[in-house]
Structure 1
């Protein structure tokens, strides 16, 4: 009988991208791989409400609510109070994903920035973490994080699917944030990213899939799913000189600290 795999948590995925008939098998494969919990992420307010229905009744499945920066121009900039109200649901553990994406340029920069600030303020008011998307926008992400902290006080946040430069990672840590690594960490050319992952404080790192995107090696090119966070965790354990069990325990403890609504319950 093989040993049971260590408990991992997929801190950022998009479960609503899977077909309803696929959903039970996706979750079953994750459980079999030792992925005990997952956070399905909001990308628009309407989609965020649908996620609540998707995860309802499934122990260990959580969600966040928010507007992705690529969709920031598609609906009005949310009022922080409206986002705060959505976080009162027991399944909602965070706000986002929000942030800045200057790669695809689907929304004007000023609109993305205003939405990002609204999400940060809502997260602070609600006492939950904000999940941040950062692509080709390191300087503005760091600037807004620093300005919002100075103006309104500290807030919890996670740089999800981290693939930015060392300067942004270090700024995030200095401001009390966390950094999450996805399948990108396993790509052969991600040498600098693995060096950053090696050097981050142990109490500030998480793992994720961003499924159905960014499948890790050796699954690259296929549709990603939560079960495969184990491959990213294995690479992160290797670069940090940890056993799989130690890495799982570490990232799970960090997840609980960042998302305290998940502590001691299986909502």
Structure 2
């Protein structure tokens, strides 16, 4: 099965019921997905979606865009909410200096609180990094010296420096539809050097629909196109790419992996 490691089903739900979105994903071979929390105030909605669908898991966290109003100064609340069995990751968190919807210092404080929560719970940190590679690497490394923690750089679009730093710390790299874009040759060059056992795939839906779905609202079913492109970049069969990224997902998102491996996973709700 394919796994969409990062989507926003709550955003898609604003346009109507997402039952058919999840069903289309299943028909496309997407056997599981993680719907990502971006605001603590919206976590109940995210969790309700995960509880509704057997194949959907979720995270808890605050996007850097929201750090000004909802950023976490301590890991306590994140750790508390992460006890729910459907919560499989911490984030998304990180730094975004492209839009800067929140002050940089508040983004950094919240980022470090999320890292502490990942370290405490053992759940993977889901990292957003845009136009902030240097500070992202500095914080990840600084916190890693305080104790190891699992992590994934989601929707990776950065250069080789961030990729190399992430790999050195044992983190994973997740690719979204951007890797299929005609303009993404530099990204494809960086990705070609990432070991197959460190790669994940995602949609980040409803954003960044991959070729050949550009211009459409992205959804988990479309992750198959990203997987196909990634198999070309890595010069392996699509079947092997799917097998590898699914195994990687289970290793990193171990709580989800344990659930997926249970007999009857994905049965009727």
TM-score, normalisation: structure 2: 0.94
Offset of residue 207 of structure 1: 0.2
- Per the alignment, residue 154 of structure 1 pairs with 148
- Equivalent residues of 1:159, 1:180 under 8 A apart: yes
- Equivalent residues of 1:41, 1:48 under 8 A apart: no
Structure 2 SS opposite 1:263: helix
Which region of structure 1 is more displaced relative to structure 2, 197-206 or 15-24? 15-24
- Per the alignment, residue 58 of structure 1 pairs with 53
Structure 1 SS opposite 2:246: helix
- Per the alignment, residue 225 of structure 1 pairs with 219
How much is the aligned-residue C-alpha RMSD, in angstroms?
A: 1.2
Uncovered stretches (5+) of structure 1, i.e. residues with no partner: 1-6
Are positions 1:75 and 2:73 aligned together? Answer: no
CA–CA distance in 2 between the matches of 1:18 and 1:145?
31
Distance 1:160 1:66, change over 3 A: same
CA–CA distance in 2 between the matches of 1:54 and 1:34?
20
Q: Deviations over 1:89-140 (max 9, x none)?
A: 0100000000000000111110000000000001100111010000000000
Are positions 1:89 and 2:62 aligned together? Answer: no
Are positions 1:244 and 2:238 aligned together? Answer: yes
- Per the alignment, residue 250 of structure 2 pairs with 256
Structure 2 SS opposite 1:72: helix
CA–CA distance in 2 between the matches of 1:96 and 1:76?
11
- Per the alignment, residue 37 of structure 2 pairs with 42
Structure 1 SS opposite 2:4: strand
Q: How does 1:126-145 map to 2 (within 5 A)?
A: 126-145=121-140
Structure 2 SS opposite 1:199: coil
- Per the alignment, residue 262 of structure 2 pairs with none
TM-score, normalisation: structure 1: 0.95
CA–CA distance in 2 between the matches of 1:178 and 1:264?
19
Runs of 4+ in 1 over 2 A off after TM superposition: 19-22, 75-79
Offset of residue 82 of structure 1: 1.3
Structure 2 SS opposite 1:74: helix
CA–CA distance in 2 between the matches of 1:76 and 1:106?
12
Uncovered stretches (5+) of structure 2, i.e. residues with no partner: 260-264
CA–CA distance in 1 between the matches of 2:250 and 2:194?
18
- Per the alignment, residue 30 of structure 1 pairs with 25
Q: How many residues align?
A: 260
Offset of residue 78 of structure 1: 4.3
